[in-house]
Chains A and B, each alone.
Chain A
Amino acid sequence: MKKVILFLSIFSPIVAFAQVERTYEYERLRIGVEAGIEFLDGTINKPAAVRENHSYYYDSYYAKDYYYGGYIDDYQTITRYYFGVKPEYSLNHRFTIASGVRFMYNHNNLISDREYFLWKVEETALTTNYARVKNVEQNNLYFGVPVEMKFFMSKKDLRVRPYVKAGASFNFLLSSSTTPYFVNGRMEQKYASDILNQLEKVDFLSTSIFASLGLKIGRMNHPFGTIEFQLPLLLFGQNTPSSFVKSSTVNEGVALQISFYLPVGEQKLSYKYKSRR
């Protein structure tokens, strides 16, 4: 009897932890929907016909004798929102590629830090006419094509799985509408077109290149989601993304993106793993 007890006490834990080999498989293809927000840095693209003003931004520096010009903060942030559909395909357990379509929107508002701009709308040899302009609003809508590649740090499809991603987005301007608002409403009919003609046109193509760090949440053989932080976001184009904000050739920005994926298709990837019985 003692020998039986001794045998069980030695081998029972080993039996309890004995593992079996299993196969995990998931679809190579999945349909994704994405939504994101981008914050882009730029400097104000000052319309040449706007008179400089004694800006609040300079009061504290030059309070005594020197009133430097300015009517708005030089540094501007543009916020762009987008959503889209993006199929993703797993090349292997670590690499995926994705492309799709997205619609991107941004709203810009050129607004003085005083009550209004004095905007030169007419000029002859002996006369000059300014209009008081409260602000100018611009709405831009883009059709975009993102191209992305992901690299998962672990081969195993963990429930929470980090990844890095590199990609580009080619955004084509679908529509751009700009509306000036005047202090005196009667000036609108007379001078709105003059102001619109003075503004620089928005680039037709706005290209961005980015790298990002993200987390996949959920198993890939079920619907799952991702959340990622894009930095840097490099933006190319002189008059992108607005008539009012001048971006440098390479414009740094940051972005946040969330996606939701639904596995589809017949092709599957699989790997074996060991599991407790």
Chain B
Amino acid sequence: MTKKYIFPVLTLIILFSSCDSDPQMDRTIFIPDETEPELPAYTEWGYNSFGAIYDNRSYFVVSSVIAPCKILYKEGHLHFSLNGIMKGSYLVESEKITLDFIFPSEKIEQYNDLLMLNDKQINLTSTDCVVKIIRNENERTLNVIDGILHFKRAQHLYIDDRSNRVILSGIFALRFLEYEFPTIISGGRFDVGINNNVFYAY
């Protein structure tokens, strides 16, 4: 019975001892974009921020109280999930919203393997890609007309020569039909740090 738990316990010990947590890296830093100050500037420092313009009116942006990004690898697909709020209109003030990109991926067992996403472009209209949006706890699969998710850079971050996390930075934009009318998410950018706290594979 005890032997049954030795391997998972050892795995957890190795996983958690192989990377350091750092309070500075866990925080969200919002550097305003010069032309669109409601959005974070595009950065590659692991500031745990993201943002996009929703339908040319509102802003889908990171929030200080919601983990901005979670990644799940499941059954040959990677779920890249951005969690934030909608801002910019009294109609949608501080509404929680999640944008979930699901696309096929090679097997990923630990967060270090996310480096394979470096300079990878995902065509969101391909048949094996799915984009979901969760608003007011209602999940909807988007009927994407065109769109792209581009991981411009994946970097393995070390702090004082010890592995800390993988930083994923990139851009996204998509157009989809919402109640049969076209809707656009434009100017999307993200800069997030991924470690075992927000990554899971099975």
Contacts and interface: CB of A to CB of B under 8 A. Distances in A.
Is this pair of chains taken from one and the same complex?
yes
Contacts of B161: 129, 187, 190
Interface in A91-121: 114, 116, 118
Nearest to B116: A126
A52 B158 contact: no
Nearest to A125: B118
Contacts of A54: 24, 27-29
Main secondary structure of the interface of B (DSSP, over half): mixed
Given A53-B29, A126-B154, A183 B115 contact: no
Contact of B24 (A53, A66, A184): A53
Contacts of B118: 125-126
A52 B64 contact: no
A51 B28 contact: no
Interface in B1-41: 22, 24-25, 27-32
B198 interface: no
A67 B61 CA distance: 12
A128 B28 contact: no
Given A67-B64, A183-B160, A127 B155 contact: yes
A131 interface: yes
Contact of A52 (B47, B85, B160, B164): B47
Interface in A136-188: 182-184, 186-187
B145 interface: no
Given A53-B27, A123-B155, A186-B160, 15 more contacts: A51-B45, A52-B31, A54-B27, A65-B65, A65-B87, A67-B64, A68-B31, A118-B159, A126-B115, A126-B118, A126-B155, A127-B155, A127-B157, A129-B157, A130-B158
